[in-house]
């Protein structure tokens, strides 16, 4: 589904990302972990064509991401709060995204209705603008908006950060369900090793912009990751 080859991104002489070869097959739940500055957000930004690759390319469903815009209809993302429109209510925001993705109000309503317990009664019908919601609630709205319109690729940067424990558990359920039963390719980055190992079939560790580990998740994965990060911390 997503093929990355010879991809690199430099700012001046400083190389922040170098991925020679990375293939993510359709329907995989893919986790990206790494310390601050490892290049996680850079990779996601390249995937969304928000920054220009220095060399190489990413192909999404055989479409060159930085060349054509045809990947947009089947891709959605929530990277940070700058993906929210602060002066809209959550409902208006969902409808707006829905309209961009060719969904009518009823479609959006029925999708959003599935997430009522995820929202915990704090998002819908509050008559509040998104900018007035708490950080956690903003995040919830942004994540759900990324699910509108049956995307085939969903990119979530640090989805677990800022969420309360109940919501974290619910979100894990949602992500698992999307990948396993609906065949959605889902890319998640996180600092929380426990959450990613719980959710993702495959975990890639980035360090200073390069892939240092590429693991199929099994019982030993969490231990291995912990050992890796504890080790690299000491160096």
Partner 1 sequence: MKLKHFINLEWKKFFRSASFGKSLALNILMIFLALYFIAIFLIMGIALFPGLKKAFPDDDPFIILNGVMFFYILADVVMRFFFQKLPVMAVKPLLPLPVKRSKVVNYVLRKSAFSFFNFLPLFAFVPFSVFLISNDYSTSGVLVWLLTVIIVTLIINFLNFIIESYASETELSFLPVIVLAGGLFALNHFNIISLADLVANGFIGIYENPILVLVPILILIGLYIINFKQLKQKLYLDSSLKTKVTEVNAANLEWTKRFGDIAPFMQLDLKLLWRNKRSKSSIWLLLIGLLYGLFFYPNPIYADMPWFFAFIGIFVTGIFLINFGQFIPAWDSGYYKLLMSQNIKYEEYLKSKFTLMALSVVILFVLSIPYVYFGWKILVAHFAAAVYNIGVNTHVIMYGGSFNRKKIDLNQRAAFNYQGTGAVQWIIGIPLMLLPLAIFGITYWIGNFEIACVVLTVLGVIGIVLHQKLMRFITQKYIDSKYKMIDAFSQD
Tell me the C-alpha distance between 184 and 222, whole Å: 24
Q: Is residue 119 a contact residue for partner 1 (CB under 8 A)?
A: no
> C-alpha distances in angstroms, 108 versus 22, 54, 149, 193?
34, 38, 8, 33
Stretch in the footprint of partner 1 (CB under 8 A) among 125-133, 160-168, 201-209, 215-223: 125-133
Tell me the C-alpha distance between 82 and 174, whole Å: 23
Tokens, residue 151: 């995307």
* Given 2, 19, 79, 184, the residue binding partner 1 (CB under 8 A): 79
Over the Cα atoms of the chain, what is R_g?
18
CB of 4 to partner 1, least distance (A): 17
Tell me if 188 sits within 8 A of 175, measured CB to CB: yes
Stretch in the footprint of partner 1 (CB under 8 A) among 34-42, 47-55, 163-171, 187-195: 47-55
Q: Is residue 108 a contact residue for partner 1 (CB under 8 A)?
A: no
Q: Which residue, among 82, 20, 100, 73, has the nearest Cα to 45 in the 3D structure?
A: 82
Q: Which one, 38 or 146, has the nearer CB to partner 1?
A: 146
* Given 32, 33, 97, 196, the residue binding partner 1 (CB under 8 A): 97
Phi, psi values for residue 77, rounded to 5°? -155, 155
Q: Which one, 4 or 197, has the nearer CB to partner 1?
A: 4
* Given 3, 35, 73, 162, the residue binding partner 1 (CB under 8 A): 73
| Footprint on this chain of partner 1 (rule: CB under 8 A) | 48-52, 72-73, 75-77, 79-80, 82-89, 92, 96-97, 99-102, 127-129, 131-132, 134, 149
């Amino acid at each position: 589904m997503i093929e990355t080859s010879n991809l690199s991104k430099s700012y001046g002489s400083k190389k922040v990302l170098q991925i020679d070869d990375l293939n993510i097959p359709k329907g995989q739940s893919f986790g990206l972990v790494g310390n601050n500055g490892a290049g996680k957000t850079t990779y996601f930004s390249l995937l969304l064509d928000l920054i220009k690759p220095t060399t190489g390319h990413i192909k999404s469903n055989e479409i060159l991401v930085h060349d054509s815009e045809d990947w947009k209809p089947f891709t959605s993302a929530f990277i940070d709060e700058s993906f929210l429109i602060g002066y809209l209510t959550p409902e208006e925001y969902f409808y707006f995204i829905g309209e961009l993705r060719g969904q009518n109000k009823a479609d959006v309503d029925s999708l959003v209705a599935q997430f009522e317990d995820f929202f915990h009664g704090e998002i819908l019908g509050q008559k509040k603008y998104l900018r007035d919601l708490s950080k956690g609630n903003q995040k919830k709205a942004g994540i759900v908006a990324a699910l509108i319109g049956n995307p085939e690729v969903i990119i979530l940067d640090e989805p677990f950060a800022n969420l309360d424990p109940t919501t974290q558990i619910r979100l894990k359920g949602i992500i698992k369900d999307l990948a396993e039963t609906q065949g959605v390719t889902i890319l998640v980055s996180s600092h929380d090793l426990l959450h990613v190992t719980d959710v993702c079939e495959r975990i890639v560790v980035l360090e200073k912009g390069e892939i240092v580990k590429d693991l199929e998740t099994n019982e030993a994965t969490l231990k291995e990751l912990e050992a890796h990060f504890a080790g690299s911390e000491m160096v």
